Amino acid sequence: MTKAPLRLGVNIDHVATLRNARGSAYPDPVRAALLAEEAGADGITAHLREDRRHIRDADIEALMAALRVPLNFEMAATAEMQAIALRHRPHAVCLVPEKREERTTEGGLDVAGDTGRLADFIAPLSEAGCRVSLFIGHDPRQIEAAVQVRAPVIELHTGAYCDLVAEGRAEDAALELAALMSGARFAASLGLEVHAGHGLSFATVSPFAATAEIRELNIGHFLISEAVFLGLDPAIREMRRLMDAARG
């Protein structure tokens, strides 16, 4: 199978986490996004959480005005967020599950358990020109449900795999990776565009970059962390190099 180009979306949420920790005006996530563009990011991802713990409304406004590459706007499937998305009309809207008490996005969206509501939720976003994606696990039921609610894109949650690798649980990691790969193939066979992300690092990106069915990777926390040591530009360029090397 000839491999289509693989896009890198850089998630700048955790620049805002650092800014908010001190209640200062810096570091500025928009500056990080522009730098990421220069370093070769094909898109910028920002998650406006309901509790505004990192990205704020004003950041979305400023990103929409400043970016030359597409914005992938991550949000919960709530009426408040839908109104914000319809006001800004970003290139992409990725629906994610949110729990106030979680430290990070723990699992995928339960699309299969909420098809009626999600179909109604997605329709006006699609009509407004936003490419809607669903952040889900590899369960085939969830993948089929994505088709049912007319989402053109899914983003597979790679967090569990990355955690297993970090814990040194090689056998469990291999099983999780195989399930993600089979999920990617199944989704592509149904006509969905497949993205992947969460927790990806230099150590875990390659098998996803090598998978022909995957068209975009969204990577944030690791890149912002690595920027402390390498700088943001070299961290993004190294990620890009590893992705290109694995894609072949």
Ligand X SMILES: CC(=O)[C@@H](O)[C@H](O)COP(=O)(O)O
Ligand Y SMILES: NCC(=O)COP(=O)(O)O
Q: How far apart are CA 138 and CA 118, in angstroms?
A: 18
Q: How far apart are CA 218 and CA 223, in angstroms?
A: 10
Smallest separation, CB 155 to ligand Y (Å): 6
Smallest separation, CB 1 to ligand X (Å): 28
Q: How far apart are CA 133 and CA 82, in angstroms?
A: 14
Residue 218 touching ligand Y (CB under 6 A): yes
Smallest separation, CB 2 to ligand Y (Å): 26
The helix (run of H) or strand (run of E) holding residue 34 is: helix 29-39
Query: 125: closest CA among 95, 152, 89, 156?
Result: 89
* Number of residues binding to ligand Y, judged by CB under 6 A: 13
Residue positions counted in the chain: 248
Binds ligand Y (CB under 6 A): choice among 43, 90, 108, 199 = 199
Query: Residue 101's Cα: distance from chain center in Å?
Result: 20
Residue 197 touching ligand Y (CB under 6 A): yes
Binds ligand X (CB under 6 A): choice among 6, 33, 35, 49 = 49
Nearer of residues 1 and 21 to ligand Y, judged by Cβ: 21
Residue 142 touching ligand Y (CB under 6 A): no
138 is catalytic: no
Binds ligand X (CB under 6 A): choice among 13, 37, 193, 216 = 13
Phi and psi dihedrals of 3, rounded to 5? -90, 125
**Cα separations (Å) of 225 from 3, 54, 60?**
30, 15, 22
Q: How far apart are CA 192 and CA 155, in angstroms?
A: 10
14 is in an annotated binding site: yes
The C-alpha angle 221, 218, 144, rounded to 5 degrees, equals 125
195 is catalytic: no
Residues 27-56 that bind ligand Y (CB under 6 A): 45
Phi and psi dihedrals of 136, rounded to 5? -135, 165
157 is in an annotated binding site: no
Residues 206-225 that bind ligand X (CB under 6 A): 220
Residues 3-32 that bind ligand Y (CB under 6 A): 11
Binds ligand X (CB under 6 A): choice among 73, 121, 135, 161 = 135
47 is catalytic: yes
SS3 219: strand
Judged by the rule CB under 6 A, the positions of this chain that interact with ligand Y are 11, 45, 135, 155, 197-200, 218-222
Task: Enumerate the active-site residues.
Answer: 47, 74, 198
Summarize the annotated binding site for 1-deoxy-D-xylulose 5-phosphate as residue ranges.
13-14, 49, 54, 104
Binding site for ligand X (CB under 6 A): 11, 13, 47, 49, 74, 96, 104-105, 135, 198, 220
